[in-house]
């Protein structure tokens, strides 16, 4: 089998892998992206059908880093870029069966019915609470610093909305490092918010609670498709990687007689092929990466297998606007565990961005499952859709039959940064040290948001370039 030679092979055509490829290509590095699916984007897929625009994965991103603007400029996407409507600032939490607005400022917090008077007074203790002496879950951290009610009606639904996870299982240090850093660096959340705001301003970054939400006129997949378009033949789809091994273990000669540090074996449209590469960037989910890296390290493969993912079903619903008997001026709502409902929350998709529903219709995206109720994702299609319809129609006062429905299941949707997660990432970093030129760049490390993935991709790009420089690999 003939082995093609490249400088960097990237496994995975999601936003992380494509961003690394984009920045390396700008530096004239010979790069190839191997994507298993027929189309790039990973979970970031957009479908247009019957006048509705359906996001099967991320519905939007937060502009937390200036790197987004750099990518928009490079890919000529300025005209496609769009922020959420002003109404998107309004977010709701379900409490006692009613949707209550999340307070956006101090006066609104004081008068809000979302939290009791005792919960509000409890906040006065926060600046005087000491630091933790061990790794804590998100739930332990919040109860210790803010009290139980803030866990139940602020943090628990927020964790369900971001991670589709449970605050009792997630590590605050791993899942919310900036929150953890406020205590570590400043001694408290209130003090840290003041000091952290100054530091973010110096870095030209925004806190996630202050960053604006954005998408594209034709959906989130616009970004990976544009990155792939610019990379042209450097992106191979229908290319499923089988394993990565050191080039000196079994053969692996290139066309001109040289060998790369790694041999990447894959099938492209069903035919076996191989690439010799000086560097390999692994940008796929942990469970998919596990068998691929096993020839390098059984321990690393085992660690990757141990990173749990929450299952999520998203049910996109279209209704006649006249059948929705409440205002949709908002982002949507989240459901706390204490409400004992069968959904995690609902985005009011057609209120957030233009071009999401035909005239006279409303589009909603409902989420089911997660770490809270994973078994619901395995329900039959009719039962799962009926469940979502029943909950949404009851909570939002919707009458009449839906005019459109589309179900998407992700049985491995979002990596869970559970207690001990950073130890696992540290072990993977040691494997990178044992195999110079091997890099992990996926949302199981460095953060799960689109912004986190883009920042991680830039950091990985810099590390790859440094590795090539140290090994004296020629860059065109």
Enumerate the domain spans of the chain: 3-36+221-307+418-470, 46-63+80-86+309-415, 115-203
pLDDT of residue 191: 72
- 293 token code pair: 């890296």
pLDDT along the chain (476 residues), means of 10: 88 98 97 97 96 96 95 96 91 96 92 95 90 94 96 97 97 94 85 67 59 95 98 96 81 42 92 95 98 94 97 98 94 97 97 94 98 97 97 95 97 97 96 94 97 97 95 64
C-alpha distance from residue 235 to each of 9, 53, 221, 268, 278 (Å): 10, 26, 16, 12, 18
User: Domain 3-36+221-307+418-470 belongs to what topology?
Assistant: FAD/NAD(P)-binding domain (3.50.50)
- List the CATH code of the domain at 46-63+80-86+309-415: 3.90.660.20
Q: How far is CA 314 from CA 142, 377, 413, in A?
A: 28, 9, 11
CA distances from 451 to 25, 179, 212, 309, 358 (A): 21, 17, 12, 20, 30
**Which residues make Cβ contacts (< 8 Å) with residue 284, sequence separation at least 6?**
11, 12, 14, 17, 36, 292, 442
Look up the pTM and report it: 0.91
User: For 115-203, CATH number?
Assistant: 1.10.3110.10
pLDDT, position 202: 59
pLDDT for residue 476: 55
Q: Which two tokens stand for residue 148?
A: 């139980």
CA-to-CA distance for 304 and 152, rounded, in angstroms? 31
């Amino acid at each position: 089998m003939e082995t093609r030679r490249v400088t960097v092979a990237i496994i995975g055509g999601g936003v992380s892998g494509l961003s690394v490829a984009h920045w390396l290509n700008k530096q004239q590095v010979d790069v190839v992206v191997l994507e298993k699916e027929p189309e790039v984007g990973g979970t970031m897929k957009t479908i247009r059908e019957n006048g509705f625009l359906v996001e099967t994965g991320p519905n939007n991103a937060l502009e937390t880093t200036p790197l987004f603007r750099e990518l928009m400029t490079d890919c000529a996407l300025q005209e496609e870029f769009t922020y959420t409507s002003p109404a998107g600032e309004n977010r709701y939490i379900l409490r006692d069966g009613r949707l209550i607005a999340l307070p956006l400022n101090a006066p609104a917090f004081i008068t809000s019915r979302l939290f009791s008077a005792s919960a509000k007074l409890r906040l006065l203790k926060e600046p005087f609470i000491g630091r933790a002496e061990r790794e804590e879950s998100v739930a332990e951290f919040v109860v210790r610093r803010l009290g139980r009610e803030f866990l139940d009606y602020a943090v628990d639904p927020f964790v369900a909305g971001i991670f589709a996870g449970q605050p009792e299982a997630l590590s605050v240090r791993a899942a919310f490092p900036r929150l953890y850093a406020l205590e570590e660096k400043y001694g408290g959340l209130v003090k840290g918010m003041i000091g952290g705001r100054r530091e973010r301003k110096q870095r030209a970054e925004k806190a996630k609670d202050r960053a604006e939400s954005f998408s594209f006129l034709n959906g989130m997949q616009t970004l990976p498709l544009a990155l792939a378009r610019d990379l042209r033949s450097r992106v191979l789809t229908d290319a499923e990687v089988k394993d990565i091994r050191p080039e000196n273990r079994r053969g692996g000669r290139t066309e001109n007689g040289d060998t790369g540090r790694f041999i990447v074996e894959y099938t492209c449209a069903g035919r076996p092929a191989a690439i010799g590469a000086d560097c390999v960037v692994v940008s796929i989910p942990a469970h998919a990466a596990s068998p691929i890296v096993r020839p390098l390290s059984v321990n690393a493969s085992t660690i990757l297998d141990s990173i749990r993912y929450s299952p999520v079903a998203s049910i996109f619903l279209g209704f006649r606007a006249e059948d929705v008997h409440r205002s949709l001026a908002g982002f949507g709502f989240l459901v706390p565990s204490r409400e004992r409902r069968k959904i995690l929350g609902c985005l009011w998709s057609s209120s957030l961005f233009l071009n999401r529903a035909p005239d006279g219709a409303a589009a909603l995206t409902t989420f089911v499952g997660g770490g809270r109720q994973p078994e619901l994702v395995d329900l039959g299609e009719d039962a799962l859709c009926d469940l979502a319809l029943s909950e949404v129609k009851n909570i939002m006062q919707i009458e009449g039959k839906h005019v459109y429905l589309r179900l998407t299941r992700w049985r491995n949707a979002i990596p869970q940064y559970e207690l001990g997660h950073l130890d696992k990432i540290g072990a993977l970093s040691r494997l990178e040290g044992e195999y110079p030129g091997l890099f992990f760049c996926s949302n199981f490390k460095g953060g799960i948001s689109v912004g986190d993935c883009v920042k991680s991709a830039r950091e990985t790009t810099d590390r790859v370039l440094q590795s090539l420089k140290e090994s004296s690999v020629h860059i065109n």
